[in-house]
Structure formats: structure tokens, C-alpha cells
Homo-oligomer: A and B are copies of this chain.
């Protein structure tokens, strides 16, 4: 045997997805949009059904030595709801599959489901099914979320036009810095188990890492203001990576302004402490689960006074030119680093 062996790391996660996707064609008329957006879009008549799925793996996505298992349950739901939000949809149901080793007690599973059900209540979704199975080691949580959106309000990654305004909700980089704090405290604890972790001054960034929220409030706000974004994506891998996805799918260029990127003051201080540029954390940190979207300039007036939406730049008609204007006024090429799991 002399078979070719290509390592997954050589392709990367997005390369692997592209490779899988190239062989796929859709057969059913009800399959409106397959792989390549935050959620699949299925025709159910007057509305579209949205389906998103995410898998969280112990040792890759979470570390139970510092993650309360209730929060993990909550987060597993929230990250899926965030994908439904990114299509401008409202979630209605989830199914939850778990693989877990006998290291986990029934009480631990109860706590995990407490978090799951707390998120279900907050986002008004029903847990309607799942699968629970043994695993040789560790915990894997796979959730599929189902939502709905009116046909004419469905927002894809591909709808931005040149000169649309780029909007970001909330603030960025906190979840990444929260992870750095938790990893540091873990090391300190491992070196000296009598040390108590000092997390008070990091409560915001740590909370953003452990218990992120899907921005459904923004989806309801957009509805109330009668604004349909021209394109949207949730910020799971870092702002820069998501900007590239929007630009590629919409065939536009990107111009953003460094001084418009929203960074919370505790995020800023923690970044400085960790010797990380706060803007780098915001651009490449990931796991913020905020929304990045574009609006037509004509909709700007409707949103300009909303405190939690930030206007960070605009699209333009040079599809491959993605620039950031620094605080000093210099134009630098935008780079996407993103997450590397493989």
C-alpha cells in the first residue's frame, strides 16, 4: 500500500469545509441554502426554516478544570442561537446530543442540563430531542438549533453591496482575554493548589468567555426599527475572519477604522497586562458571539443612536482590498488569523 496521506492541518478547518463542499449538490427544492452560511435555509412555505449545528469537544473547546459545567451547557446553546440570530431569525427548538465517559456523574449531567435549560428559557427555545451515549473519554456536546425567519427578512452573508455600513454589536476581544486569565490561573493553581484564584478584577472578561450570550436582543431591536441588514454573520472566530467571510460572499471590499472597533475598558486593561494589543485581541480573539452586519446607508438614521451598535467602516467596490485605517490615519491591509483547532 502506498496511499497518499494528507494531514488535516495542511488544509485547515476552512480548507476542509471547502473540500467537503465541492462535492455537494442539493437535490430537494426545499433546500434553499446549504453549507456556507451561519445556518442552512429550508423552505417551509410562508417562512424559512433555519438550521445550525455546533459541536463542543472537551480538550478542544473547553476545559472543565475552570469551566462550571452549568455555564458550559448554557454556552453550548448560546453559540447555536447566535447562528440563528446571524440569519436574522428567531430560534424555536434545539436537539442536544451528548457523549460522555463514566467520569461524569448523574449530578454533573443534571448541572449541564440546568445550564442548557436556563439558556432555553432565556432564548425561548424548546429542547425537543437528543441522544445520550457513552464515550471512552471526555465530553462531547452536539447541538442543532432550529429557527424561523420571514422569507423577505432572511439575511445571508452574501447580500452586502458596495458602500454599505459595517456594524458591530457589543464589544470585542473580551472572551479571548478571559480565556488567557483562566489559563493563567489554572497554571498558578497547578503550581500551588493552596492559591485561590483572583478573578474579581477580571469578572467581565471571564464571564464573556464562560457564559456568552447570543445577541437576540439586537434581532428584536432591528425588527422594531424595521431594519433588515444586507448581510450578517456572528463573530465566533474573530472580527477579521468574519469580515473576510462577509467580503468574500458579498464580493465587496472592506474598509474599517481602528478607532471605531469597540473594546471594553476591562478588556483593554487585561490586554495591556497580558502584553497583547487590544485591537489584535478584538480582530483575532474569537468567541465573542457578537453580530457583524451591513446596512444600507439609508438605514443609518434608524440605528445611529442605538448605544450597542457600532459603525466600524464600510464596504466598497474593490473585492480584494480589505483595509484598516489606523488611529494614525495610515491604511494597513487587514489580516485574518482566526482560530486553529487542527
Q: Which residues of A contact B (CB under 8 A)?
A: 3-11, 13, 16-17, 19-20, 23-24, 26-28, 30-31, 33-35, 39-40, 42, 44-46, 49, 51-55, 57-61, 92-93, 95, 97-100, 102, 104-107, 109-110, 113, 117, 120-121, 124-138, 140, 142, 144, 146, 341-342
Contact = CB atoms under 8 A, between A and B. Distances in A.
Given A16-B109, A46-B45, A97-B142, A60 B135 contact: yes
Contact of A102 (B8, B100, B131): B8
A105 B45 CA distance: 41
Given A31-B128, A51-B129, A134-B341, 18 more contacts: A5-B106, A8-B100, A10-B106, A16-B106, A16-B109, A27-B121, A28-B92, A40-B95, A40-B128, A51-B144, A51-B146, A53-B130, A57-B133, A57-B134, A57-B140, A59-B135, A61-B133, A97-B142
Q: Which of A20, A23, A44, A146 has the most CB of B within 10 A?
A: A20
Q: Which 3 A-B pairs have the closest CB atoms?
A: A142-B142, A40-B128, A6-B106
Given A6-B105, A28-B125, A136 B44 contact: no
B97 A53 contact: yes
Is chain A's interface secondary structure helix, strand, loop, or mixed overall? Answer: mixed
Nearest to A33: B128
